[in-house]
Amino acid sequence: MSIAETWTVKRLLEWTTDFFKKKGIVMPRLDAEILLSAAMKVKRIELYTNFETEPNEPHRTLFRELVKRRAMGEPVAYLVGFKEFYSILLKVDPNVLIPRPETELLVLETLDILKTFSANSHPVVCDVGTGSGAIAIALAKNLPIPVKQTTTIIAIDNSLEVFSIAKLNALSNEVADRIEFCCSDLLADVTETFDVIVGNLPYISQSEYEILPKEVKNFEPQQALLAGPNGTEIIERLTTQLPKKLKPNGFVLLECSPMIAESVAAFFADWNNVQIIKDNAGHQRLVSATRN
């Protein structure tokens, strides 16, 4: 960046977008806007109403540092400390997986299932492997009217560091009173039985993990991604626990990789209504089934 040049918001965004393009960053303009708005402590929309404004030196210094780290592969969500998911804002840090847009399909399908429950049914829902709390919080915020006040949501993870983030997210999104948190290795230490069990558990195989983009492999928690040699290991372990934890006629919905969807569906060969659900890109993304 030239010292003589006036670095307005507009010029900073143009320069950074071009720089990110050269670095192969997928969404260079969006990343530039998010980082600059974070450095200036303003909303993204405010950048457009202040195009000709020149950020002060502390803001430019912070922005340069964020740009440098982004160019090295560090995810934007970790740099700014938050990620939007299902129209809610979530705090994230390297202890938790960054919520993905494709996981919103899991929320949509779960909400559709909950619409089938009557007002006096009091469904109990489990989000296993809650991470940042994204799924549990999105469900709590968007429960269908008939069961909005009667649904119990239990969020499960095996990490206290993860729980500290998930609980903060529940508080900031005003649903802390609707979610119970339980530390457990999958369902092993849970005494409740559930009407619906959902989860976005690790499902990356070892071979897939080795070729992940550097911003995923080098920065996001391995334990939230890598399942084992085949990618199905953790999901398979969960399925052995389901018969004792899921009520008769209860539902299970699990996110998975398109490469293992058929294998995951095979774990439910003796269940009812086994389905593989495709995402908006046409990829096999969810497996759902109903217990006998």
The mean pLDDT value for 199-207 works out to: 97
**Distance (Å, whole) CA 29 – CA 24:** 12
- Selection from 168, 102, 96, 110 nearest residue 138 by Cα: 110
Are 60 and 106 members of one domain? Answer: no
- Asked, for residue 88, whether it belongs to a domain, the answer is no
Task: Kindly write down the DSSP assignment for every residue of 127-188, as one continuous string.
Answer: EES-TTTHHHHHHHHH--GGGTTT-EEEEEES-HHHHHHHHHHHHHTT-GGGEEEEE-STTT
Are 189 and 44 members of one domain? Answer: no
Are 50 and 164 members of one domain? Answer: no
Give percent of the chain above pLDDT 70. Answer: 99
Whether 204 has a pLDDT exceeding 80, the answer reads yes
Q: What confidence tens digit (pLDDT) does each residue in 30-65 have?
A: 999 999 999 999 999 999 999 999 999 999 999 999
Tell me what pLDDT residue 161 has.
87
Whether 240 has a pLDDT exceeding 60, the answer reads yes
The mean pLDDT value for 156-174 works out to: 95
Are 48 and 140 members of one domain? Answer: no
- Asked, for residue 1, whether it belongs to a domain, the answer is no
Tell me what pLDDT residue 5 has.
76
**Distance (Å, whole) CA 272 – CA 288:** 9
Are 115 and 65 members of one domain? Answer: no
The CATH number of whichever domain residue 168 belongs to comes to: 3.40.50.150
- Asked, for residue 276, whether it belongs to a domain, the answer is yes
Are 28 and 127 members of one domain? Answer: no
Are 149 and 255 members of one domain? Answer: yes
Output the average pLDDT for the chain: 96
Are 104 and 68 members of one domain? Answer: no
The mean pLDDT value for 195-210 works out to: 97
Whether 1 has a pLDDT exceeding 60, the answer reads no
Q: What confidence tens digit (pLDDT) does each residue in 89-109 have?
A: 999 999 999 999 999 999 999
Are 16 and 125 members of one domain? Answer: no
Cβ neighbours around 182 below 10 Å, total:
18
Residue 282, amino acid: G
Are 122 and 254 members of one domain? Answer: yes
Are 173 and 258 members of one domain? Answer: yes
Tell me what pLDDT residue 172 has.
98
Are 103 and 66 members of one domain? Answer: no
Instruction: Please report which confidence band the pLDDT of residue 4 belongs to, taking 50, 70 and 90 as the band edges.
Output: low
- Tell me the residue range of the domain where 68 lies: 9-72
Q: How many domains does the chain have?
A: 2
The mean pLDDT value for 211-215 works out to: 94
